[in-house]
Amino acid sequence: MTHDTTSPGTYRDVSDLRTQYFCEYRYYLEQRHGNEPSRAAARGSALHQHPLAVHDMTAPNGPLLILIIVVAIVAAILWIMW
């Protein structure tokens, strides 16, 4: 079986795989232990209750990106004036 790795969407996002892992582990725990509370079951339930918009990848990197740009501009100005 061959996989097409040239087209976009062939590889899954890490957060999607993490969500799938927690959901499958939660399902396994429910089969094995019934409705006893566990950390993985609580995490799986929390993942199911949050909308997909919560997992926006650009929001946490915004301030860091601005900081890197400001440092690069200041470094360029100091390099030119030196």
What is the number of structural domains in the chain?
Answer: 1
Is residue 24 scored above 80 in pLDDT? Answer: yes
Classify residue 79: in a domain, yes or no. Answer: no
19 within a domain of the structure (yes/no) = yes
**Phi and psi at residue 70, in whole multiples of 5°?**
-65, -45
Does 63 map to a domain?
Answer: no
Question: Is 23 a domain residue?
Answer: yes
Can you give the residue range of the structural domain that contains 19?
Answer: 1-55
For residue 45, pLDDT beyond 60:
yes
Is residue 49 situated within a structural domain? yes
Q: Is the pLDDT of residue 55 over 60?
A: no
In a domain, 15, yes or no: yes
Question: Identity (one letter) of the amino acid at 54?
Answer: V
In a domain, 51, yes or no: yes
Instruction: Please report the pLDDT score of residue 1 as a whole number.
Output: 47
74 lies in some domain = no
